[in-house]
Amino acid sequence: MVRINLYSDTQTQPTIGMRQAMSRAEVGDEQQFLDPSVNQLCDEVSKLLRKDSALFLPSGTMCNQIALAVHCVAGDEIIADQTSHVINNEAAGAAAICGAAIRPIQGKRGIFSADDVERSLRAGRALEPRSRLVVVEQSSNAGGGSIWPIKTLEEISVVARTHDLAMHMDGARLLNATVSSGIDAYRYANTVDSVWLDLSKGLGCPIGAVLAGSDNFIRKAWRWKHRLGGAMRQAGVIAAAGLYSLEHHVARLAEDHSNAKLFAQLVSSIEGVTVLNPEVETNLVFFDVSQTKYTSADLSTELRNHGVWIGAPTSTSMRAVTHLDISQSDIEEAADLIRQLIS
Ligand SMILES: *Cc1c(COP(=O)(O)O)cnc(C)c1O
């Protein structure tokens, strides 16, 4: 049995308080705007991000795919970091659903610059794709939970506007970035045309994500929501979990960040282990185990046999993610176990 689950912040169990909020939720047909809980959630997120409107969706992946489809038509080109979720973890949705190509940028820790965007823009010749959209991921998952500096986002936003490109933020962990940096979510959101946040990551909900943008953007997004089968009915039972999490699970993300820092510190002192993102800006820790007797897959299996689950995204690296079901003593126990196994 897994006792300490560091595989992902998607692994959280809904808390008692959250389940109670879900059971009390007022509900209605959300497609008809008759679900008070969904309406309230969309309202709160659009206020938090200072966008006109918001749309409740089953997943973050659907938020990304709908945003790409609203911003792009077939044959357009999207600029995104090579490590991004839209490139690597959405089953080529951009190509399959809206027909757009993606131009990968080699950023640093998942983050690229306004100059990188300038260099990737097409000149507008008939034989080229049309540059249409810039996607940023706040925080960058594969980049190690790294946070895009607000200045970088503002500079990219200027380039995008100047060249008539739209800009979209994959904010799966936007609130982690906000809590860690102290910069309000709306300031990050203000640099982009569309943005979403995931309820089922660090916020601890079982399902759901909320996409926000202008009234015009959300109107178009609704059509895609229906088209992709993402329109729901009495979705208030899950929206209530989202409302609960926005009230109770945001400030506490700071604990996840300090637990991640502690974990990085503890494992970095183990012979043969190298932390790949020693800055640990948020709740993700990547570490290399190639100088130990284990491959990452073998170490992952061995840890799991002892009740600790840590993912092995590559043959040499491991990824540990902290969240609300992980305590400081879990971190100490997991790091101790790694030390014992390796030495
Ligand atoms: C998890 C994640 C997504 C997808 O969200 P789901 O709710 O799992 O579909 C998108 N982008 C990033 C950066 C993620 O970490």
Verify whether ligand 1 is closer than 6 Å to residue 81 (CB atom).
no
Using the mean position of ligand 1's atoms as its centre, give its distance from the Cα of residue 7 in Å.
14
Q: Which residues pair with 169 in a beta bridge?
A: 136, 195
Instruction: Give residue 275's pLDDT.
Output: 98
Instruction: Give residue 294's pLDDT.
Output: 96
- Rounded Cα gap, residues 110 and 106, in angstroms: 8
Verify whether ligand 1 is closer than 6 Å to residue 166 (CB atom).
no
Using the mean position of ligand 1's atoms as its centre, give its distance from the Cα of residue 343 in Å.
35
Decide: 175 and 256 in contact? Cβ < 8 Å: no
Mutate to test the pocket of ligand 1, among 8, 9, 56, 61 (most ligand atoms within 8 A of CB): 61
- E strand residue ranges, 154-258: 166-171, 194-198, 209-213
Instruction: Give residue 264's pLDDT.
Output: 98
Using the mean position of ligand 1's atoms as its centre, give its distance from the Cα of residue 204 in Å.
13
Verify whether ligand 1 is closer than 6 Å to residue 172 (CB atom).
yes
> What are the tens digits of pLDDT across the range 162-208?
999 999 999 999 999 999 999 999 999 999 999 999 999 999 999 99
Using the mean position of ligand 1's atoms as its centre, give its distance from the Cα of residue 224 in Å.
18
Q: Which atom of ligand 1 is nearest to the CA of 64?
A: 10
DSSP 184-207: -HHHHHTTSSEEEEESSSTT--SS
Instruction: Give residue 209's pLDDT.
Output: 98
Rounded mean pLDDT for each run of 10 residues along the chain, 343 residues in total: 96 98 98 98 98 98 98 98 98 97 98 98 96 98 98 98 98 98 98 98 98 98 98 98 98 98 98 97 98 97 98 97 98 98 94
Verify whether ligand 1 is closer than 6 Å to residue 209 (CB atom).
yes
* For residue 139, cis peptide bond before it (omega within 30 degrees of 0): yes
- Of the CA atoms within 13 Å of residue 178, those in its CB half-sphere come to 19
Q: Which atom of ligand 1 is nearest to the CA of 62?
A: 9
Query: pTM for this one?
Result: 0.98
- Rounded Cα gap, residues 175 and 197, in angstroms: 8
Fold equal for 15-248 and 252-342: no
Mutate to test the pocket of ligand 1, among 86, 170, 174, 197 (most ligand atoms within 8 A of CB): 170
Where do the structural domains in the chain lie, given as residue ranges?
Answer: 15-248, 252-342
Instruction: Give residue 73's pLDDT.
Output: 97
Q: Does an H or E element contain 136, and which? A: strand 130-137
Instruction: Give residue 118's pLDDT.
Output: 98
CATH of domain 15-248: 3.40.640.10
Using the mean position of ligand 1's atoms as its centre, give its distance from the Cα of residue 114 in Å.
24
Using the mean position of ligand 1's atoms as its centre, give its distance from the Cα of residue 197 in Å.
9
- Rounded Cα gap, residues 120 and 248, in angstroms: 41
Q: Which CATH class is domain 252-342?
A: alpha beta
Q: Which residues pair with 131 in a beta bridge?
A: 77
* Cα radius of gyration (the chain): 20
